[in-house]
Amino acid sequence: MGRNGDPIPPQQEANMNTHCERNPRPARAGFFKRADKRVFGFMWVLSLIVFAGGVALFLEPAEASADEGESVGDPIAGEKLMRELDCYQCHGIGKEGGDVGPDLTNVRLRRSKEWLFQWLEDPSLTRPATGMPAFTWNSDQEIHDIIAYLDTLKTPVDREKILKEKDLAKAGELLVKAYDCRACHTIKTGGRDIYPNLTRIGEKLRPEWDKKFLKDPEAWDPYTFMPNFHLTDQEIEAIVAYILGPK
């Protein structure tokens, strides 16, 4: 219909319909061309980001290796430093030293490198009432050197060989020696009275409690200084059999 309500001639109506259909097409085509340019630009930027990320990941191991290299200790420097600090005055180390503090010969069997680093950095943060002095270190490297030296002293425990012993109590005795329990405790034939004397522990505690405590000391006492040796059930059975056996 026209403006006055008059019918529109067929040819004019066809021209109008044709105009309405064709006019938007160039506009849509222009839109898509602009959109294509935006998408291409976005993809180009995204490609750069991915490439940069890949380069970063490629370089990261080298940087991590450098950091790890800085934390590697020198055992020779560590031994020298321990003598300069007179650590042997209180601690047994190897075949020499005092008995004021724990024997450190096999300390790496019972303490991780991370634990030792924190302890040496400031002992009072781990155990406020400790008699261990806090040294003033020139650098973290000195601590790493000491830990590296202590690492050379440890004797790995051959638990499979020990547990082949038919006498359970005898196997427990061998395990007590291998794990150097006497570095802190007196147990029957000797040791140190730094921590509880375990010679008569059977008169105070039940075997079931001993076994659970050895399995996870911190589960029973979060503030205990007793390390977790991650003992197997068979090892625990043997150690308890020895400790609770004849004096």
DSSP calls for 133-192? -----S-HHHHHHHHHHHHHH-----HHHHTT-SSHHHHHHHHHHHTTGGGT-EETTEE-
Q: Are 226 and 217 spatial neighbours (Cβ–Cβ below 8 Å)?
A: yes
Which position has the token pair 């044709």? 18
pLDDT tens digits, 185-241: 999 888 877 788 888 887 777 888 889 999 999 998 888 889 999 999 999 999 999
| Conformation bin of residue 136: beta by default, left when phi > 0, alpha when psi is -120 to 50 | beta
Residue 38's pLDDT is 55
Q: Helix (H, G, I), strand (E, B), or coil: what is residue 211?
A: helix
Percent of the chain's residues with pLDDT above 90: 49
CA nearest to 182, candidates 88, 92, 245 = 92
Task: State both tokens at 73.
Answer: 């200790």
Residue 41's pLDDT is 54
pLDDT tens digits, 131-151: 899 999 999 999 999 999 999
Return the CATH fold of 75-153. Answer: Cytochrome Bc1 Complex; Chain D, domain 2 (1.10.760)
What is the DSSP-derived secondary structure letter of residue 21?
H
Q: Where are the domains of the chain?
A: 75-153, 159-243
**Same topology for domains 75-153 and 159-243, yes or no?**
yes
Q: Which helix (H) or strand (E) holds 14?
A: helix 10-22
Write down the CATH superfamily of domain 159-243: Cytochrome c-like domain (1.10.760.10)
Close Cβ partners of 123 (under 8 Å, ≥ 6 residues apart) = 130, 132, 133, 134
Handedness of CA 29, 35, 39, 41 (dihedral sign): positive
For β-strands 190-191 and 186-187, DSSP reports them as antiparallel
Amino acid, single-letter form, for residue 150: L
Residue 28 has pLDDT above 70, yes or no: no
CA nearest to 92, candidates 163, 196, 184, 208 = 184
Residue 117's pLDDT is 97
Q: Are 124 and 134 spatial neighbours (Cβ–Cβ below 8 Å)?
A: yes
